[in-house]
Amino acid sequence: MEPQHESVDFVIHSRKAMESAAMPDVPFVVVSITTSPFDEARIPPSAHCLGVLRLAFFDSDLSAEEDGPEGLFSRDDARQIWRFILPLRTKLRCIVLHCSAGLSRSPGVAAALSNVLCGDDQAFFARFRPNRRVYALLIDVFYREFSLSPAC
């Protein structure tokens, strides 16, 4: 599968902002990131929402090459994101993401998704501090497992 370079908007919130935010009026999905799987954020309902993916992992920049303690972003988490996003990519106009502060984990996911889907991730690195582990694992898993294009 070749990356699709389409126009998709990304909206990144803190958890607090997410729970009271106005949802987009175009087809969108939500990637909801918390630290504990038992602590789900309240996502405002919307007829335009195509789905919500809930993930729980710690905000750690431990290198993607290193296995860390349980609870860090993993290859399985990356696979869940790609399996959620890719089937919907032709319908999506917006991806809404949140984590606790909206500064590291959700921008890491957004930057990687934007890199693959839109061909550019620089706005996220200019505005946020994307979690490098999250970003690296998402990119690596996409090109190893979801892309049929040959590696350079």
Q: Is the pLDDT of residue 136 over 60?
A: yes
**149 φ, ψ (degrees, to nearest 5):** -75, 145
Q: Is the pLDDT of residue 4 over 80?
A: no
Query: In this predicted model, which residue has the larger pLDDT, 142 or 152?
Result: 142
Residue 110 domain flag: yes
Name the pTM for this structure: 0.90
Range of the domain at 33: 9-146
Contact 117, 8 (CB under 8 A): yes
- Who contacts 126 (Cβ-Cβ below 8 Å, separation ≥6)? none
Residue 86 domain flag: yes
Residue 29 domain flag: yes
Q: Is the pLDDT of residue 131 over 50?
A: yes
Residue 151 domain flag: no
Q: Is the pLDDT of residue 14 over 70?
A: yes
Residue 4 domain flag: no
When divided into structural domains, the chain yields a total of 1
Residue 122 domain flag: yes
Distance (Å) of CA 135 to CA 22, 27, 74, 75, 138: 27, 24, 11, 11, 5
**Least confidently predicted of 91-95, 99-103, 124-128, 146-150:** 146-150
Residue 3 domain flag: no
Q: What kind and span of H or E run contains 107?
A: helix 105-118
Alpha carbons within 13 angstroms on the beta-carbon side of residue 107 total 19
Identify the CATH number of the domain in which residue 139 sits.
3.90.190.10
Contact 44, 104 (CB under 8 A): no
Residue 91 domain flag: yes
Distance of CA 92 to the CA centre of its chain: 14
Question: Tell me: the pLDDT tens digits for 79-119?
Answer: 999 999 999 999 999 999 999 999 999 999 999 999 999 99
Rounded CA gap, 119 and 121, in Å?
Answer: 7
